[in-house]
Amino acid sequence: MLEKRHVPKEKITKSARYMLGISAISMLGLWYLIYAFSPTKRLVAVLPISFLKNGYSALEKRASNMKYPKNLNPQERGRLAISILELIPSNIALAPILLPLKVWLSVKLS
């Protein structure tokens, strides 16, 4: 289809590589923001619902009891695990905004 529109294969390959790079950078950037700001912890602290607070406390306790990575203290291990868990729904929620932005940016850069 793109060949009928006279788009060279090199440009398609270059755009795909840019797309992979932009996706990796955006994923790491989003994870860093979640790790730095802990949005779920802040949200649970604000909401007056006790079972959410109890559930989040239990999650923090289970996450801090992880065995890996061993070189981190238990609190950092828990924060790392929770931030990775928060990344999944955040990425899904932001996909309608980020995906077109990534495609547009990869085409413009190539």
Share of the chain above pLDDT 70, in %: 97
Distances (CA, A) of 82 to 63, 77, 92: 7, 9, 16
- Domain locations in the chain? 9-109
Tell me the pLDDT band of 11, cut-offs 50, 70 and 90: confident
pLDDT at 1: 64
Q: Structure pTM?
A: 0.79
Mean pLDDT over 53-75 rounds to 81
Low-confidence winner among 10-24, 63-77, 88-102 (lowest mean pLDDT): 63-77
pLDDT at 17: 94
Q: Which residue in the block uniquely carries the two structure tokens 């912890």? A: 41
Q: What is the DSSP string of 22-64?
A: HHHHHHHHHHHHHHHH-HHHHHHHHS--HHHHHHHHHHHHHHH
Tell me the pLDDT band of 2, cut-offs 50, 70 and 90: low
